[in-house]
Amino acid sequence: MDSKEIIYEELMNRMKKGVCPICDFVEFRLAEALERFLYEGINTPHTRAKIEWTNGFCNHHAHRLSELGDPLSHAILYHDFMNNVMKDVPDKKSKTDRSNHKECFFCDIQKSNEDDYTKAFLEFYQNEEFSSRYEQENSPLCVPHLITIQKIRFANKKTVSRIVEATMEKYKALNQHLSEIKRKSDYRNTHETWTEEEKEAWKKAVFTFNAHPGIRP
Ligand SMILES: [Zn+2]
Ligand SMILES: [Zn+2]
């Protein structure tokens, strides 16, 4: 688990990247966890038991892991997974459902990091250095993480309102870029050039509205 100091520094630095700092940090730690798993985790009994129980990995994390390559680790894991399928599927008495996957080993890591970082964001927001960085930079929290912060129990209401307000300003700016894309796409205005921000705004909108890939269903 990350110390408070590390989370603070990481979130502060990620506010300069133009994307949700929480998504970005969760994604960074996930990438590390996937690498670490292939490097050392695959033969850890505790990890293997968890993977067995969840019927492998969820769709998103299975594909993320496979993108890292590593034929041997995949052969070891999937040999077991497929053996289970060949044992259970033809067996009419088997009660094990091999058609889906429970929240996987990486889902757990991701969830616990999201939980830590959203709570930390709220706590750090009382610090002027942190809040003014967020208010100045153009890296809005995504909608799912903003709402998660809003729902934190016993949160300081003033701080939550301040975060919501600052984020709405950023959403408003994003929507202005989207309006410009619409306007400039009209045949009467196609001669107008798109700004750098407008070129990116439609993609940024997807990341902001839906969070980063694999963060939320
Ligand atoms: Zn986010
Ligand atoms: Zn997963």
Q: What pTM value is reported for the model?
A: 0.90
Q: How many residues would you count in the chain?
A: 217
What are the CA-CA distances from residue 175 to residues 72, 115, 127 (Å)? 47, 28, 29
pLDDT digits (tens, 9 = 90+) for 48-76: 888 888 899 999 999 999 999 999 999 99
Q: Which ligand is nearest to the CA of 147?
A: 1
Average pLDDT for 128-149: 96
pLDDT at 217 over 60: no
Average pLDDT for 167-171: 97
pLDDT band at 207 (very low <50, low <70, confident <90, very high): very high
CA of residue 144 to ligand 2 center, whole Å: 18
Residue 69's SS3 state is: coil
CA of residue 103 to ligand 2 center, whole Å: 5
Q: Which ligand is nearest to the CA of 216?
A: 1
Average pLDDT for 162-178: 96
CA of residue 109 to ligand 2 center, whole Å: 9
